Amino acid sequence: MGATVSTLAYLVSSVLFILALRGLSHPETSRQGNLFGMVGMGIAILATLLRPGMGGGGIAIVLAGLAIGGTIGTVVAGRIQMTALPQLVAAFHSLVGMAAVFVAAAAFYAPASFGIGTPGHIHAGSLVEMSLGLAIGAVTFSGSVIAFAKLDGRMSGAPILFPNQHKLNLALGILMLVLIIAFVATGNSLLFWLIALLAFVLGFLLIIPIGGADMPVVVSMLNSYSGWAAAGIGFTVGNILLVVTGALVGASGAILSYIMCKGMNRSIINVLLGGFGTTGGGEAGPGAGNGDRAPVKAGSPEDAAYIMKNSQKIIIVPGYGMAVAQAQQVLREMGDLLKKEGVEVSYAIHPVAGRMPGHMNVLLAEANVPYDEVKELEEINPEFAEADVAFVIGANDVTNPAAKTDKSSAIYGMPILDVERAKTVFFIKRGMASGYAGVDNELFFRPNTMMLFGDAKKVTQEIVQALQR
């Protein structure tokens, strides 16, 4: 295949990737979007294999990489639980970061193979691209490893703060800039590794102060970093498709981070600087007691069915626990039964409910919940005051009023679903544990709250049975 044909094939792939992103922006078109992405990647791989100068050895290496990576990817994707996707994504981002570091090192030690000069005489422009790819890649790697550890519960999700943390981050950032300038001027190998080391440390320091509730923003931000790292590699290896794809991932990740920041009422600059302004929060942990508060009122599925049957308007608020219990199907059955009874049913989606962007939308779509019944936070919040029941199933942080009232709370400032305005609030959860951010939820003790203790799927099944009686 000639160089022009391969460039043309890359262009077609780029367009397909853009269409894929467009398709993924709505649940109805997401399957088609995925298909565009897969076809685009297929064309890209084929065009790479048929590129002039690939040779038998090159093709064998690419095919071996595809076989090993493809097998591992297939096995992991087959086994992974939907609820563990965020940590898987973080782990994958770390691989992109590390790949950028390896490519930068390969280009530095064998520049001739990349057509960027000879050892000790690498073009200045290539040194700039290489050092940026190296720095962003190393930050992405160590930052993603920490994000993985936090999301997977291997380290505490609480913010790790120490005095002068932001000044230290800023000083290290400036030092990094100085090292990059010195490296571009001299091409010194010691400086190359110092940049890598400093970037690894910086990635670590940027993510440790970020508390549990802000992790969604971090995941999308690291997604963006991994895209820019890939674009950096693209420049180094002179591959236009990698530059385009990396930039697409980088830009879409940045836009998603911005949207998530808006959803969480956080400043994107603060998050970029590593939890700048994080106040932390010494809230109660899982299983927190009720102190001197009113006793908790617990009800049965039969009670809930009776109250809901006699309601006019019910708003269902799904959260992480619904995903864990895989209760979406039976939840829709419950919604259908209530609609037959003449009850108005809608579903309220908080932008960070669950453990990944769009988590609840995906699950509800999987259960064939009509899209027009699914409403976003701004749209649904005014409706809680008119609702007879807020049916909170496995959600916690996204309903917690501490976000509005407690300045010392880790979730302070995050917009929440105003479920407490409904006449009756049901919380379906297994016990009194706090949510992901580790913040005690005072709503459990309110007079208009009824706790329905148990696994979300089991409790909802029992409600469905009671409704059918």
List interacting residues with ligand NAP (CB under 6 A): 86, 212-213, 215-216, 319-321, 324-325, 352-357, 359, 394-398, 428-431, 433, 435-437, 455-456
Q: Choosing from 397, 406, 418, 455, which is the catalytic residue?
A: 397
Least distance CB 103 / ligand NAP (angstroms): 29
Element (H, E) at 426: strand 424-429
The set of residues, in sequence order, having a beta carbon less than 8 Å from that of 122 and lying 6+ positions away, is 107, 108, 111, 116, 130, 187
> The tokens of 311 are what?
């309601």
Q: Specify whether 440 is catalytic.
A: no
Q: Classify 317 as helix, strand or coil.
A: strand
Q: Which two tokens stand for residue 253?
A: 């990740």
Q: What is the DSSP string of 321-343?
A: HHHHHT-HHHHHHHHHHHHHTT-
Q: How far is the CB of 456 from ligand NAP (least distance, A)?
A: 4
Helical H runs in 157-237?
Answer: 165-186, 189-207, 215-237
Max CA-CA distance within the chain?
82
Least spacing, CB of residue 353 vs ligand NAP, in Å: 4
Which is nearer to ligand NAP, 236 or 346 (by Cβ)?
A: 346
Cβ distance to ligand NAP smaller for residue 130 or 353: 353
In the complex with ligand NAP, the residue whose CB is nearer, 177 or 255, is 255
The residue nearest ligand NAP at its CB is 435
Instruction: Answer whether 364's CB lies under 8 Å from 347's CB.
Output: yes
Closest separation between CB of residue 333 and ligand NAP, Å? 17
Q: Of 232 and 321, which has the nearer Cβ to ligand NAP?
A: 321
Q: Residue 320 belongs to what H/E stretch?
A: helix 320-325
Distance, in Å, from the CA atom of 233 to the CA atom of 455, rounded to the nearest integer, reads 47
Q: How far is the CB of 361 from ligand NAP (least distance, A)?
A: 11
Q: Which is nearer to ligand NAP, 377 or 398 (CB)?
A: 398
Contact between 354 and 360 under an 8 Å Cβ cutoff? The reply is yes
Task: State the nearest-atom distance from the C-beta of 101 to ligand NAP, in Å.
Answer: 26
Distance separating alpha carbons of residues 272 and 268, to the nearest angstrom: 6
Cβ proximity to ligand NAP: between 366 and 455 the closer is 455
Nearest to 286 by CA among 142, 80, 430: 430
Output the DSSP codes for 356-424. STTHHHHHHHHTT--GGGEEEHHHHGGGGGG-SEEEEES--GGG-THHHH-TTSTTTT-----GGGSSE
Q: Which positions are catalytic?
A: 397
